[in-house]
Amino acid sequence: MLLPRRLSVMGTVCLTLLASSFASASDNLRVSGFGNVSVIKSGTENLGFKYDLSKEALFDEWSLKPGSSFGLQLNANINDQFDAVIQGVLQDRLDNNLNKTITWAFLRYRPTQNITVRAGRIATPIYMLSEYRDVGFAYLWTKPITDFYSAIPVTYIDGGDIAYSAPLGDGIFEARLFGGSSEVTIETIFEPHNVTLSPIIGGKLTYSLEQWLFSSVAATTKAKEGEPAASLTSSLSGVPNLELLWPGASRFSNDFKLSDTRISYYSLGALYETGDWNVQSELSYTDAEWPFFTDLAAGYLSVGRTLNSNTFYGFASKSKTIGSLYALSAPSALGQSVSQIADAYQLIGSNLNARFVDQETFGMGVRLDISPQISLKGQIERTWLKNDHIGGWLTSINGLSAAVPSYIDTYSVSLSFVF
């Protein structure tokens, strides 16, 4: 089978190693999998629910598409120091191809007991669900908490990482450095856009002991290729004397350019888990230089209590734009009499305002563990849109000028399994 060109070379290496291992020593090959059958209802006629930026939004409808998936993973032990892993996940995406379907494809090397090196396509280690974001069975909720995870489209990087772990006190400390690149597809009002993030460079510290896990991450990247805001200013290209009619408009193409924009991400996380209790929290801050993705703070606290085979849980989350939006200068009075300029001014201003995020969510649900490998979960949540800000939702063109509801309810049911 010929893989897409953008799939890393290490993916091909891992496939070869896996096939070789299967042929020569099938005892060293392990096959596992997971799946989610999830139905979600959310959004309004003009505001679409975003499971994450790589999926179609839901506009006041029930759908199996955003949260349903099926994954298959192959692990091959080559010798005492080397193993290879490849994972594929079938799910609905804006840009669905074999390259996006292969989520992991790496070779792992353990030169010592304390050091691990991975090269290829790896999970992006920037949040607590990094290794199991697609595995619904691995967490309490029907889906990753929207206020925190919907704005993070990066699930893997093509590159590698190196980790050092050692005992510290009563627990285990690990330091990890990672780097590489990733291609993401982002949905906009007009059409999806592919954006390459490169290089992605970061570090992660974790400390685990008994029932606790703590993590901290710092990462930075630059956007390469893809210009999601280009359509907002395209109508101005043929306007004569544009700078006289709209002072400052000539800078828009540069100011709105996503390429070479620096994006930095920081997060803290904590997990407390016993047989009866599950308490998890994450905080993040995204520092971005692009006018249509301003600095964003997000966080959540989730608490679950298990009684027999049922786990009842609740969570509170919030996401908010930090700082002010891009200062859009107004056209001159004469400029506003030109339809192309007036329409562009309205469209750009509305899109800038629509990117401002200020919302809070409270949700609750129940998880029933049908068997050690199957769970059924139901969840309801209400999101309050503060001060008419809709940046956490995908809006339609009509939605830019529509009345903003004070809250939106989301309902979801999922059947998750592993094998």
Quote the mean pLDDT of the chain: 91
As a whole number, mean pLDDT of residues 184-194 equals 79
Rounded to whole angstroms, the Cα distance separating 50 from 47 reads: 9
Asked whether the predicted pLDDT for residue 207 surpasses 60, the reply is yes
* Range list of β-strands (E), 92-147: 102-109, 115-123
Instruction: Please report which helix (H) or strand (E) contains residue 260, including its range.
Output: none
Q: 236: closest CA among 87, 347, 77, 145? A: 347
As a whole number, mean pLDDT of residues 128-135 equals 95
Asked whether the predicted pLDDT for residue 9 surpasses 80, the reply is no
Report if residue 151 sits inside a domain. yes
Domain containing residue 305? 41-67+114-418
Burial class (CB within 10 angstroms; exposed 0-12, middle 13-18, buried 19+) of 271 = middle
pTM of the model: 0.90
Report if residue 206 sits inside a domain. yes
CATH number for the domain including 133?
2.40.160
As a whole number, mean pLDDT of residues 133-154 equals 95
In 354-364, which positions are buried (b, 16+ CB within 10 angstroms) versus exposed (e)?
bbbbbbbbebe
Rounded to whole angstroms, the Cα distance separating 120 from 123 reads: 10
Q: What is the 3-state secondary structure (H, E, C) of 364-401?
A: EEEEEEEECCEEEEEEEEEEEEHHHCCCCCEECCHHHC
Higher pLDDT, 369 or 23: 369
Q: Per-residue confidence at 10, pLDDT binned at 50, 70, 90?
A: very low
Rounded to whole angstroms, the Cα distance separating 280 from 204 reads: 18
Report if residue 159 sits inside a domain. yes
Contact indicator for 29, 13 with CB cutoff of 8 Å: no
Q: Is 250 helix (H, G, I), strand (E, B) or coil?
A: helix
Q: Provide the pLDDT for residue 232.
A: 84
Q: Provide the pLDDT for residue 7.
A: 41
Report if residue 14 sits inside a domain. no
Q: Provide the pLDDT for residue 8.
A: 40
Asked whether the predicted pLDDT for residue 12 surpasses 80, the reply is no
User: What is the tally of structural domains in the chain?
Assistant: 1
Report if residue 23 sits inside a domain. no
CA angle 367, 368, 370 (to 5 degrees): 145
Contact indicator for 43, 57 with CB cutoff of 8 Å: yes
Report if residue 26 sits inside a domain. no
Contact indicator for 3, 100 with CB cutoff of 8 Å: no
**Which residue reads 């998890």 in tokens?**
280
Contact indicator for 361, 317 with CB cutoff of 8 Å: yes
Question: pLDDT of 56-67, one tens digit each?
Answer: 999 999 999 999
CA 198 to chain CA centroid, nearest Å? 16
Report if residue 81 sits inside a domain. no
Higher pLDDT, 289 or 285: 285
Cβ within 8 Å of residue 322, ≥6 positions away: 285, 294, 295, 296, 297
Contact indicator for 341, 246 with CB cutoff of 8 Å: yes
Report if residue 46 sits inside a domain. yes
Tokens standing for residue 378: 């139901």
